[in-house]
C-alpha cells in the first residue's frame, strides 16, 4: 500500500498516542485516534509556529481544550520539532516527566495553557484572541501588521457541554473575534456513552446564535475537507468560527465508536489491529518511519521561513516606528517593586475615610497613566468594583484598542479569559466582581495558581459590610477558600497605603495570581500603615511588652487599633498586626515571622469579618476569635458589625477571656 506522507504522519500520531497510553497503562487513547487527521491538517497546513522560537509573540496559538487527549498534543509536539523527545513520549504520565497526564503550561515546550478541566481551554483561547486583537489594534500599521496570529482550539463534546464554554463563546461572538477558530471533535461519545443520554442540542445552531460562522465536516478522516473548512474559517475575519468535524472515538481499532476507548489503554491486541488497519510499517512500540521525520523537517523549514519573514517585519517596524516599538518593549518589561515604592505620588490618599474599592479605583487610574498596557474590566459590575479606567474606551468589536473590558455577567469565563489574556503576553490584565462571586470563578482562579499566571482579581464588597443586600451577597468563607489555594496571593488591605501595596504585588507578580479583597464601606486611613504590607503581615501598632497580639485584616484593622487603646486603659498591652496576606507572610523568613508573631506570645485574638477556619495556625490553642462563623443578614452594614460582635467592647472581652 503506498501512502502519502501526510497520511503516514497521521498514522504516526495515532500509533504514538496509542503506545503512550499503553506503556503508561493510563490515559485517553480514543480522542487522539479520532482527531489525529484534523490536528495534523491544522498543524501542517495552517498553524504558524516555529519550534526554534517557541515564544514568538505572533505565533498561532493552539489550545487543546479537550485536555484528556494529551497524548495527541505530545505526539504533535514531538513530530513538529518541539523539545519533546522520544524519551519524553515514553515517560508519559510518569513522575517528573515533561509529558504529564494533562497538558501543563511550563512543563512542556509548546503547551500554551494548562487544560483538563473541560471548557477551560476554549475559554482561555477567547482571552488569547481578545489580547491579539487588542495588541494588533494598538500596534499594527497599515503597512506592517506585527500581530495577526490566529488562535485555534480543539474541543470535544465535554467542552461543548460545560457552561463556561457558552459564556466564553457568547462573548467571542459578540466581539466578532474573527481570528478564533474552534475545531469541534464531534464523536457523540463521552465517558458514560452516547451523548444522546444528556446532550441532544444542535451545537452548530447554538454557535450560529452566538455569532459564529459554522462549518460541518462529515468525515473526520477527510483531510481535504478539513483543510478547506479551516481555510474558509480563516478568511472570515469578522466572525469567530466553529468547525464541527464528525469523528469516531478510537478510530481504526476494533473498538471504534465505543466509549471504552475514552479513558483506558486499548490493549496489545487492539493496538496490533490498529497498526495493521493503518498499514503501519512496524508493530514495534514507538516506531516512527524515518520518512515521516524527513517530511516533518521539510514542513518545519517552511514554518521557520514564516518566522524569519516576521522577524524582518519587526526590524522594519523598529526603523519606521521606533516610538511604538519602544512602547511594546516597555509593555513586555518585568516591573520592579522599587519603581512603585519610589513613586511617592502613588501612595498619597489624603486622610479621609474611603472604601478600599474606591482607593483601588484611584490606583487603577494612576497606574493607567503610568503604564501603557493595563487591560481589564468586570463582570457587569464596573461601577461597583471601581474598575473603569477613566477616559479609556470600551473594548468592542468596533474598537479593539479599548482598554475597558466588559465581560457581561459571566464570572467563570471572565477568569479563564483573563488567564488567556495574560498567557498571550504583553498586558497587565485584571478582572473584577463581587467577592462573594469568587465562588463562580474559583475553578479558573485555581488554574491561574497552578499555571502561575499573574492575573489580578479585583474582588469587592468583601464582608457583611455589604449590608442591606444580605447573606447571599456577604462573603464569609471565601477568604478561607482562597487562602487554602496554593500560589494564590490573597490581599485584603486596610486603607489606601495597603491598597497600593496590594496593587504593587499585583503589578510585579510574575508567577502567581493576586486577589485584591476590598471593602464596600469607607475605612479610615491608618496612621502607621506602610509598604511593609508587602510582607503579608506587619506590626502596625506596637507596645513595649505586649500581653496579647491582635491579628486583623482589612476593615477590621482599625477596630483592632481602637480595641488596643481601650485595653491600654485597663493596663492590658496589645500589639496590633495588620495581616493583608497569609500567602505573602508565609513567604517571609523565620526571623521576620518571629519578630511579628513571637512564638512565646501565645495570647492572640484574630479579628476578621470572615470564617475563623484559616486563622487557627496563627491563633493557636490559647487564642480567641472575633470572626463570622455563620451567614450574615440583611440590614445596614454598621448594624451588622455591631450585631455580629465587631465592636471594641467585644474584642476587649474576647481578650480578657484568654488572659
Ligand atoms: C470540568 C470537568 N468535568 C469532568 C471532567 C472529567 N472528564 C474528562 S473527559 C470527560 C468526557 C469528555 O467527553 P469528550 O469531550 O466528548 O471526550 P471524548 O470522550 O470524545 O474523548 C469527562 C467527563 C473534566 N475533565 N472536566
Ligand atoms: Mg466525545
- Counting Cα atoms < 13 Å in the Cβ hemisphere of 393 gives 11
Q: Return the sign of the alpha-carbon dihedral for residues 412, 415, 416, 421.
A: positive
Cell of 250: 478510537
When pLDDT is averaged across residues 427-450 and rounded to a whole number, the result is: 98
Cell of 460: 469587592
Q: How far is the CA of 30 from the centre of ligand 1 (A)?
A: 12
251 pocket-lining for ligand 1 (C-beta < 6 Å): no
**pLDDT the model gives residue 566:** 98
Q: How far is the CA of 198 from the centre of ligand 2 (A)?
A: 12
When pLDDT is averaged across residues 369-393 and rounded to a whole number, the result is: 98
Q: In the structure, what pLDDT confidence band is assigned to residue 3 with cuts at 50, 70 and 90?
A: confident
How far apart CA 549 and CA 562 sit, in angstroms, is 14
Query: How far lies 427's CA from each of 132, 311, 417, 585, in Å?
Result: 10, 21, 13, 27
How far apart CA 453 and CA 189 sit, in angstroms, is 33
Neighbours of ion ligand 2 (CB under 5 A): 156-157, 187, 189
Ligand 1 pocket: which of 29, 190, 198, 255 to mutate (most atoms within 8 A of CB): 190
Contact 478, 453 (CB under 8 A): no
**pLDDT the model gives residue 333:** 98
Parallel, antiparallel, or unpaired: how do β-strands 514-518 and 489-491 relate? parallel
446 pocket-lining for ligand 1 (C-beta < 6 Å): no
When pLDDT is averaged across residues 544-557 and rounded to a whole number, the result is: 98
249 pocket-lining for ligand 1 (C-beta < 6 Å): yes
When pLDDT is averaged across residues 426-434 and rounded to a whole number, the result is: 98
Closest CA to 544 of 578, 571, 580, 566: 571
Q: Based on the number of CB atoms within 10 Å of its own CB, is 366 exposed (0-12), middle (13-18) or buried (19 or more)?
A: middle
Q: What phi-psi label fits residue 99: left (phi over 0), alpha (psi between -120 and 50 degrees) or beta?
A: beta
Give the 3-state secondary structure of residue 185: strand
The H-or-E segment that residue 626 falls in is strand 624-626
pLDDT at 2 over 60: no
Contact 484, 316 (CB under 8 A): no
Whose C-alpha lies nearest to ligand 1, atom 8? 68
Q: How far is the CA of 259 from the centre of ligand 2 (A)?
A: 8
- Residues 144-161: pLDDT tens digits? 999 999 999 999 999 999
Cell of 444: 479558573
Contact 92, 18 (CB under 8 A): no
The conformation of residue 43, written as its DSSP 8-state character, comes to I
Q: How far is the CA of 531 from the centre of ligand 1 (A)?
A: 46
CB atoms within 10 A of CB 238: 10
Instruction: Report residue 434 CA to chain centroid gap.
Output: 18
Parallel, antiparallel, or unpaired: how do β-strands 574-578 and 538-541 relate? antiparallel
The H-or-E segment that residue 544 falls in is none
How far apart CA 84 and CA 111 sit, in angstroms, is 11
**pLDDT the model gives residue 229:** 99
198 pocket-lining for ligand 1 (C-beta < 6 Å): no
3-state secondary structure 396-443: ECCECCCCEEECCCCHHHHHHHHHHHHHHCCCEEEEEEEHHHHHHHHH
**pLDDT the model gives residue 1:** 41
Parallel, antiparallel, or unpaired: how do β-strands 193-194 and 189-190 relate? antiparallel
Q: What share of the chain is helix, strand, coil (3-state, %, to 5)?
A: 50, 15, 40
72 pocket-lining for ligand 1 (C-beta < 6 Å): no
Nearest ligand to the CA atom of 444? 1
Ligand 1 pocket: which of 68, 249, 262, 263 to mutate (most atoms within 8 A of CB): 68
27 pocket-lining for ligand 1 (C-beta < 6 Å): no
- Residues 188-228: pLDDT tens digits? 999 999 999 999 999 999 999 999 999 999 999 999 999 99
Give the 3-state secondary structure of residue 347: helix
pLDDT > 70 fraction of the chain, expressed in percent and rounded:
100
Q: How far is the CA of 186 from the centre of ligand 2 (A)?
A: 6
Cell 467577592 maps to which residue? 435
Catalytic residue set:
411
How far apart CA 371 and CA 422 sit, in angstroms, is 16
Q: How many residues does the chain have?
A: 659
377 pocket-lining for ligand 1 (C-beta < 6 Å): no
Instruction: Report residue 215 CA to chain centroid gap.
Output: 29
pLDDT at 234 over 80: yes
- Residues 564-618: pLDDT tens digits? 999 999 999 999 999 999 999 999 999 999 999 999 999 999 999 999 999 999 9
Q: How far is the CA of 126 from the centre of ligand 1 (A)?
A: 20
**The dihedral formed by the CA atoms of 261, 265, 270 and 276, expressed in degrees to the nearest 10:** 100
How far apart CA 374 and CA 389 sit, in angstroms, is 9
When pLDDT is averaged across residues 230-238 and rounded to a whole number, the result is: 98
Contact 516, 456 (CB under 8 A): yes
Average pLDDT, rounded, for the chain: 98
Give the 3-state secondary structure of residue 23: helix
214 pocket-lining for ligand 1 (C-beta < 6 Å): no
How far apart CA 359 and CA 349 sit, in angstroms, is 8
pLDDT > 90 fraction of the chain, expressed in percent and rounded:
100
115 pocket-lining for ligand 1 (C-beta < 6 Å): no
Whose C-alpha lies nearest to ligand 1, atom 25? 117
Nearest ligand to the CA atom of 262? 1
Amino acid at each position: 500500500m503506498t501512502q502519502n506522507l501526510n497520511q503516514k504522519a497521521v498514522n504516526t500520531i495515532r500509533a504514538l498516542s496509542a503506545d503512550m497510553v499503553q506503556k503508561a497503562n493510563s490515559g485517553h487513547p480514543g480522542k487522539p485516534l479520532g482527531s489525529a487527521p484534523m490536528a495534523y491538517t491544522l498543524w501542517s497546513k495552517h498553524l504558524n509556529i516555529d519550534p526554534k522560537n517557541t515564544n514568538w509573540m505572533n505565533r498561532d496559538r493552539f489550545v487543546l481544550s479537550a485536555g484528556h487527549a494529551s497524548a495527541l498534543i505530545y505526539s504533535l509536539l514531538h513530530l513538529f520539532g518541539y523539545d519533546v523527545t522520544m524519551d519524553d513520549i515514553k515517560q508519559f504520565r510518569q513522575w517528573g516527566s515533561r509529558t504529564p497526564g494533562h497538558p501543563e503550561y511550563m512543563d512542556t515546550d509548546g503547551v500554551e495553557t494548562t487544560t483538563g478541566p473541560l471548557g477551560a481551554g476554549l475559554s482561555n483561547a477567547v482571552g488569547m484572541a481578545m489580547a491579539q486583537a487588542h495588541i494588533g489594534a494598538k500596534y499594527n500599521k497599515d503597512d506592517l501588521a506585527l500581530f495577526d496570529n490566529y488562535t485555534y482550539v480543539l474541543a470535544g463534546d465535554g467542552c461543548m457541554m460545560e457552561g463556561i464554554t457558552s459564556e466564553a463563546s457568547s462573548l467571542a461572538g459578540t466581539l466578532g473575534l474573527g481570528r478564533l477558530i474552534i475545531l469541534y471533535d464531534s464523536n457523540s461519545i463521552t465517558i458514560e456513552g452516547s451523548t444522546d443520554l444528556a446532550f441532544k442540542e444542535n451545537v452548530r445552531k447554538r454557535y450560529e446564535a452566538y455569532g459564529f460562522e459554522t462549518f460541518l465536516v462529515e468525515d473526520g478522516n477527510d483531510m481535504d475537507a478539513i483543510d478547506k473548512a479551516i481555510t474558509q474559517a480563516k478568511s472570515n475575519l469578522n466572525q469567530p468560527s466553529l468547525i464541527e468535524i464528525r469523528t469516531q472515538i478510537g478510530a481504526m481499532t476494533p473498538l471504534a465508536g465505543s466509549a471504552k476507548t475514552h479513558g483506558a489503554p486499548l490493549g496489545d491486541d487492539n493496538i496490533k489491529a490498529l497498526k495493521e488497519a493503518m498499514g503501519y510499517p512496524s508493530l514495534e512500540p514507538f516506531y516512527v518511519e524515518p520518512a515521516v521525520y524527513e517530511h516533518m523537517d521539510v514542513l518545519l523549514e517552511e514554518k521557520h521561513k514564516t518566522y524569519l519573514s516576521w522577524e524582518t517585519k519587526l526590524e522594519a517596524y523598529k526603523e519606521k516606528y521606533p516610538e511604538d516599538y519602544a512602547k511594546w518593549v516597555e509593555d513586555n518589561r518585568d516591573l520592579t517593586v522599587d519603581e512603585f515604592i519610589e513613586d511617592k505620588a502613588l501612595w498619597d490618599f489624603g486622610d479621609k475615610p474611603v472604601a478600599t474599592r474606591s482607593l483601588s479605583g484611584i490606583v487603577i487610574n494612576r497606574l493607567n497613566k503610568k503604564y501603557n498596557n493595563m487591560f481589564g474590566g468586570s463582570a457587569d459590575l464596573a461601577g461597583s468594583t471601581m474598575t473603569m479606567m477613566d477616559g479609556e474606551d470600551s473594548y468592542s468589536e468596533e474598537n479593539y484598542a479599548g482598554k475597558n473590558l466588559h465581560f457581561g455577567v459571566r464570572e467563570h469565563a471572565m477568569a479563564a479569559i483573563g488567564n488567556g489574556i495574560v498567557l498571550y503576553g504583553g498586558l497587565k490584565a485584571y478582572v473584577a466582581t463581587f467577592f462573594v462571586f469568587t465562588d463562580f470563578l474559583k475553578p479558573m482562579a485555581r488554574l491561574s495558581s497552578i499555571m502561575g499566571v499573574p492575573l489580578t482579581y479585583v474582588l469587592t464588597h468583601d464582608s457583611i459590610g455589604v449590608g442591606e443586600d444580605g447573606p447571599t451577597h456577604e462573603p464569609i468563607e471565601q477568604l478561607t477558600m482562597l487562602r487554602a489555594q496554593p500560589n494564590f496571593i490573597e490581599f485584603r488591605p486596610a486603607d489606601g497605603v495597603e491598597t497600593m501595596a496590594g496593587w504593587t504585588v499585583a503589578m510585579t507578580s510574575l508567577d502567581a495570581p493576586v486577589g485584591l479583597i476590598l471593602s464596600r464601606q469607607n475605612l479610615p486611613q491608618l496612621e502607621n500603615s506602610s509598604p511593609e504590607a508587602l510582607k503579608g503581615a506587619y506590626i502596625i501598632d506596637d507596645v513595649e511588652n505586649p500581653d496579647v497580639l491582635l491579628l486583623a485584616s482589612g476593615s477590621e484593622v482599625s477596630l483592632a487599633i481602637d480595641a488596643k487603646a481601650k485595653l491600654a486603659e485597663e493596663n492590658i498591652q496589645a500589639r496590633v498586626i495588620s495581616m493583608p496576606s497569609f500567602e505573602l507572610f508565609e513567604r517571609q523568613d523565620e526571623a521576620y515571622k518571629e519578630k511579628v508573631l513571637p512564638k512565646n506570645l501565645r495570647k492572640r485574638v484574630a479579628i476578621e469579618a470572615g470564617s475563623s477556619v484559616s486563622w487557627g495556625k496563627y491563633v493557636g490553642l490559647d487564642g480567641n476569635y472575633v470572626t463570622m462563623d455563620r451567614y450574615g443578614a440583611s440590614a445596614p452594614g454598621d448594624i451588622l458589625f455591631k450585631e455580629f460582635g465587631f465592636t471594641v467592647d467585644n474584642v476587649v472581652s474576647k481578650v480578657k477571656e484568654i488572659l
